[in-house]
A and B are shown apart, each in its own frame.
Chain A
């Protein structure tokens, strides 16, 4: 965590993921960052850098602001970062009730689900417990509304396994494919970026769009529901070297992008180190 790799080191999995994620944010008008979604934040900032003035504005829930000014990634100081250069501070009802419906077709957001299944259905609420009942997690939030206005619906998993990428979710919070019927202007589609591959879900089924460099085919098959086609998926394009350097030195120099890959005691240590690094920073 918070390593200081040589600036010309090959891309690691966090970097491969944020580059793959940013590809799906380039033509959005607005990207919603989501609470504490480190990879989504870094991918959105990268998309801004890649697209320049044509790139998306960011809706940052840390202060519920709309921001276009380029900035570095922050997590512990995210509220202050969200205020820097903001054009407006919204009240939550204003954003939820008025702005989001007005952004249909123009907004994107990467969501980290608790579970996603072979039909692209999303669960952010609860999973079955080992001894009956269920364990509750985040909540319903605004996922059903987002599934309608954000197409393709974007999801990511920092660790793809058979607990998070499943045959059928334990509870359906949003079903973005079913919400938009085939033949409509915006037929339902879900894109999933994981540490192994990029997947697409549509009414005709699910398939891998690309597989990351170095991923073992047998391991990918083992961690992917059988209903998802993996045949003939090309390699995920490598990051542009100049952009990769820009990511490391300018966009995310403190490696916010690493946080979602840590768990337990390692995660606590990584969060404390990131907090200290951000506290020592003169920006924002």
Chain B
């Protein structure tokens, strides 16, 4: 089955969505091509979910694409904060564990999963809407983490085939979990190949397989100025230039990168 779409067709799936997730981690395999498209074309959706939010999140916040961001870490790491995250931004705070539990609850169709309160005092203070419960077996006080269903998840892979089998190099992030929790999954890839290979012949096993993937987009250098190993590494000079932008210059920066040949 051929699942290949254009970037514009795939990006349009996020418009008006309740919750959109972006895969990758740190500067690795972030779906920048989709983020740039949204920033340039005025796409809007309610919530952006990222585990760690980097340049893709920063530029989306600067461009006003999501109403809020859900994450346990936001920033450009050694490069500081970009123009988006330096300004006002509504954040749904998570811990590493609470975000995993929410995604796992969505995958398993559970109404909640428990998080020990001793790991969540800060979270409970920041998120008073989270219900407290007592474990029926131990009496331990817990927070009930609700499911975090994703409307559309976008991930960037090294290679994919038209059926949606995708191989990643470098950081795996939580892309498989995001895909499992999502109603639709878009894979953007550096290389669109006939066949990603088979196990046992030295070929790379697919991290995402076709039943999980809704659409495939061929997007060479679609994670730049971040990295997508083995094709390219993070472009620090470009990232530092981005970090130094004023917030109102981000849309122009995004347009220039998107239209770059």
Which residues does A use to contact B, with CB under 8 Å?
Answer: 35-36, 38, 61-64, 75-77, 79-80, 83, 89-93, 96-97, 125, 136-145, 148, 171-175, 179, 259, 267-268, 271-272, 275
For the complex with contacts A91-B173, A271-B78, 6 further pairs of A-B residues with Cβ separation under 8 Å are A61-B25, A79-B26, A83-B170, A139-B74, A139-B94, A268-B240
By a CB distance below 8 angstroms, the chain A residues around B119 are 144-145, 148
**Interchain CB contact under 8 A, B240 and A271:** yes
**Interchain CB contact under 8 A, A79 and B227:** yes
**Closest CB-CB distance, B202 to chain A, in whole Å?**
17
By a CB distance below 8 angstroms, the chain B residues around A174 are 122
**Interchain CB contact under 8 A, A80 and B97:** no
In the complex, A33 Cα to B75 Cα: how many Å? 17
By a CB distance below 8 angstroms, the chain A residues around B72 are 139-142
Q: Which of these binds chain A: B146-154, B192-200, B213-221, B229-237?
A: B229-237
**Interchain CB contact under 8 A, B122 and A136:** no
In the complex, A92 Cα to B103 Cα: how many Å? 12
Closest-by-CB residue of A relative to B73 is A139
In the complex, A275 Cα to B122 Cα: how many Å? 36
In the complex, A97 Cα to B98 Cα: how many Å? 10
**Closest CB-CB distance, A275 to chain B, in whole Å?**
4
**Closest CB-CB distance, B86 to chain A, in whole Å?**
9
**Interchain CB contact under 8 A, B229 and A93:** no
Q: Given known contacts A79-B229, A96-B100, is B244 in contact with A125 (CB within 8 Å)?
A: no
**Interchain CB contact under 8 A, B77 and A36:** yes
By a CB distance below 8 angstroms, the chain B residues around A137 are 75, 81
**Interchain CB contact under 8 A, B122 and A77:** no
In the complex, A175 Cα to B91 Cα: how many Å? 23
Which 7 pairs from chain A and chain B are nearest by CB?
Answer: A36-B77, A142-B96, A36-B78, A275-B236, A92-B174, A139-B73, A144-B119
**Closest CB-CB distance, B247 to chain A, in whole Å?**
15
**Interchain CB contact under 8 A, B75 and A138:** yes
Closest-by-CB residue of B relative to A265 is B244
Closest-by-CB residue of B relative to A172 is B122
Identify B78's interface contact among A38, A91, A175, CB under 8 A. Answer: A38
**Closest CB-CB distance, A192 to chain B, in whole Å?**
20
By a CB distance below 8 angstroms, the chain B residues around A36 are 77-78
Q: Given known contacts A140-B123, A148-B119, is B174 in contact with A91 (CB within 8 Å)?
A: yes
Q: Given known contacts A93-B177, A136-B89, A268-B240, is B96 in contact with A62 (CB within 8 Å)?
A: no
How many chain B residues have a CB neighbour from A under 8 Å?
49
**Interchain CB contact under 8 A, B172 and A92:** yes
In the complex, A268 Cα to B176 Cα: how many Å? 35
By a CB distance below 8 angstroms, the chain B residues around A259 are 78
By a CB distance below 8 angstroms, the chain B residues around A148 are 118-119
Q: Given known contacts A138-B73, A142-B72, is B172 in contact with A89 (CB within 8 Å)?
A: yes
Q: Given known contacts A91-B177, A172-B122, is B236 in contact with A271 (CB within 8 Å)?
A: yes
**Interchain CB contact under 8 A, B234 and A76:** yes
Identify A92's interface contact among B89, B170, B173, B227, CB under 8 A. Answer: B173
In the complex, A138 Cα to B119 Cα: how many Å? 18
**Interchain CB contact under 8 A, A63 and B51:** no
Question: Does B131 touch A at the CB level, under 8 Å?
Answer: no
**Interchain CB contact under 8 A, A79 and B171:** yes
In the complex, A80 Cα to B104 Cα: how many Å? 29
**Closest CB-CB distance, B104 to chain A, in whole Å?**
8
By a CB distance below 8 angstroms, the chain A residues around B51 are 92
**Interchain CB contact under 8 A, A140 and B95:** yes
**Interchain CB contact under 8 A, A64 and B233:** no
**Interchain CB contact under 8 A, A97 and B97:** yes
Closest-by-CB residue of A relative to B228 is A79
Residue from A80, A92, A97, A271 with most neighbouring chain B CB atoms (10 Å) = A92
By a CB distance below 8 angstroms, the chain A residues around B27 are 79
Question: Does B121 touch A at the CB level, under 8 Å?
Answer: yes
In the complex, A89 Cα to B175 Cα: how many Å? 13
Identify A83's interface contact among B104, B173, B229, CB under 8 A. Answer: B229
CB-defined A-B contacts under 8 Å, sample of 19:
A35-B77, A61-B26, A62-B26, A63-B171, A79-B26, A79-B170, A79-B229, A80-B229, A83-B170, A93-B100, A93-B104, A93-B174, A136-B85, A140-B94, A142-B95, A142-B97, A267-B80, A272-B237, A275-B237
Closest-by-CB residue of B relative to A34 is B77
